[in-house]
Amino acid sequence: MSDVLTIAVLGCGSRGRTYSKIIATLGERYRLTAAADLVASRREMLASLAPTGEIRCFDGAESLFAAGKQADVLIVATQDAQHFGHAMAALELGYDLLLEKPAAESLARCEELDRRARELGRRVALCFVLRYTPFYSTVKRVVDSGKLGRIISMRTHEGVEPYHQAHSFVRGHWAKAANSSPMIVAKCSHDADLLCWLAGAPVAAISSHGDRSWFRAENAPEGAPLRCTDGCPAAANCLFDAHHYLAGKRRWLSMVMDGWEEADDAKILDFLKTSPWGRCVYHCDNEVVDHQVVACEFTNGITATHTMTAFDCGRSIEIYGTLAALKGGDPYQEAGAPELWLRHHATGAIEPVEVSVRDNAGYAGHGGGDHGLVDSLDHLFRGEQALQPGLDGLAGHRLAYLAEKARVSGQRVTL
């Protein structure tokens, strides 16, 4: 390996583009060498991030793999159901991987990927971007410092936000687990990863409950047509009216509509008339849950709960130790409390914890996690602190997949 870490990108959609743009700003450490996507404009956008000819373009995974290894690391940012096949092929070619979550569409396949990566001596980092945010890296530092004493239990909470739920998990790519992955994996594998990372031990037992309670036909306003663009009588008061994409929710189109930035209202309306994102949220073919709770126990005795709901916004965490409790996250900050603080049991004193924003990316892009992850790539893949061969983050995937098994079966799952 040279001093510069070379990186190829498979899947130049929303995530592939996001990472590549950050990589291009860290040019002295990283070099993009190849971009593959089925859609020409997407791979060309990536190619435009470097001088002409420096990034080789490929019209899909097959041609990329047929050309042999193009870089030290391959970013796999295709859709969920493709990750396993693309990751396996890339491992065989000798790539280390930055793999979008979920690593695969089942736990068995995640474990197979881990096994093969170990056999081949390859590192697979997952895009668990939250670990790399200033907020959660501070939480981890506090836990590791011993300031909380022994950790007894933890609570995490994720408010997906109603429009985000509608965009991604009702109308969008992750509406059906069979085409992607269950909601608790697609959205909360980040939280499952955080819980395992902070507990520092494998999960031992899991229970879970949840359902699709709101986004179903019986909750549709009277007379609502199948598409918002067909004249809905309830449009004026509907939180989910697709016409919001023309105004306050326009940025969500960046993930699903090519050329959205230049598109005028007429073009966006055309898109809404024909694409899944113009459909009434109560008349979609969505199957995934809109709320789910998980309770689990780790092998070191720590217990944890996680709540996911469409009807709140932002994440929060509480960690209860024998000396102090840590609390923080979006809802606290919204309410005017510090973003992160400790409550010391001995004195009842409240100690705000400073979350240092390390770089000029601040909190942009998953609370700074997109930038933090890209910034960490050279440490993840080489040097003394590099990852061990295998799938880093398997524990979080195991927790999320088994939570879904527990929810669907109604049974407590033990390991």
Ligand X SMILES: NC(=O)c1ccc[n+]([C@@H]2O[C@H](COP(=O)([O-])OP(=O)(O)OC[C@H]3O[C@@H](n4cnc5c(N)ncnc54)[C@H](O)[C@@H]3O)[C@@H](O)[C@H]2O)c1
Residues at the interface with ligand X (CB under 6 A)? 10-16, 36-39, 42, 60-61, 77-80, 82, 100-101, 127, 129, 186, 255, 366
User: The sheet that has 5-10: what strands, in order across it?
Assistant: 56-58, 30-36, 5-10, 73-76, 96-99, 123-126, 390-391
Q: 319: which residues sit within 8 A by CB, 6+ positions away?
A: 139, 143, 148, 151, 153, 154, 155, 198, 325, 326
Q: How far apart (Å, rounded) are the C-alpha atoms in residues 15 and 30?
A: 18
Q: How far apart (Å, rounded) are the C-alpha atoms in residues 21 and 33?
A: 13
Question: Between 38 and 313, whose beta carbon lies closer to ligand X?
Answer: 38
Q: How far apart (Å, rounded) are the C-alpha atoms in residues 184 and 177?
A: 10
Q: Are the C-beta atoms of 208 and 406 separated by less than 8 Å?
A: yes
CB of 7 to ligand X, least distance (A): 16
CB of 194 to ligand X, least distance (A): 12
CB of 127 to ligand X, least distance (A): 4
Question: Between 17 and 243, whose beta carbon lies closer to ligand X?
Answer: 17
CB of 371 to ligand X, least distance (A): 13
Q: How far is CA 80 from each of CA 37, 102, 267, rounded to the nearest angstrom?
A: 15, 6, 29
Tell me how crowded residue 384 is: count the other CB atoms within 10 A of its CB. Answer: 5
How buried is residue 91: exposed, middle or buried, by Cβ count under 10 Å (0-12/13-18/19+)?
A: buried
Radius of gyration of the chain measured on its C-alpha atoms: 22
CB of 86 to ligand X, least distance (A): 7
Question: Between 79 and 207, whose beta carbon lies closer to ligand X?
Answer: 79
CB of 153 to ligand X, least distance (A): 26
Tell me how crowded residue 335 is: count the other CB atoms within 10 A of its CB. Answer: 7
CB of 316 to ligand X, least distance (A): 18
CB of 101 to ligand X, least distance (A): 5
Question: Between 210 and 396, whose beta carbon lies closer to ligand X?
Answer: 396
Alpha-helical regions (H) of 40-149: 40-47, 61-66, 83-93, 107-120, 134-145
Helix (H) or strand (E) holding 270: helix 265-274
Quick check: helix, strand or coil at residue 403?
Answer: helix
Question: Between 45 and 402, whose beta carbon lies closer to ligand X?
Answer: 45
Question: Between 321 and 372, whose beta carbon lies closer to ligand X?
Answer: 372
Q: Which residue is nearest to ligand X (CB)?
A: 13
Question: Between 302 and 395, whose beta carbon lies closer to ligand X?
Answer: 395
Tell me how crowded residue 266 is: count the other CB atoms within 10 A of its CB. Answer: 8
Residue 292 token pair: 């789910």
Question: Between 176 and 209, whose beta carbon lies closer to ligand X?
Answer: 176
Dihedral sign, Cα of residue 184, residue 185, residue 191, residue 196: positive
CB of 397 to ligand X, least distance (A): 13
Question: Between 79 and 303, whose beta carbon lies closer to ligand X?
Answer: 79
Q: How far apart (Å, rounded) are the C-alpha atoms in residues 337 and 334?
A: 7
CB of 24 to ligand X, least distance (A): 17
Question: Between 80 and 290, whose beta carbon lies closer to ligand X?
Answer: 80
Q: How far is CA 313 from each of CA 157, 164, 165, 370, rounded to the nearest angstrom?
A: 10, 9, 10, 19
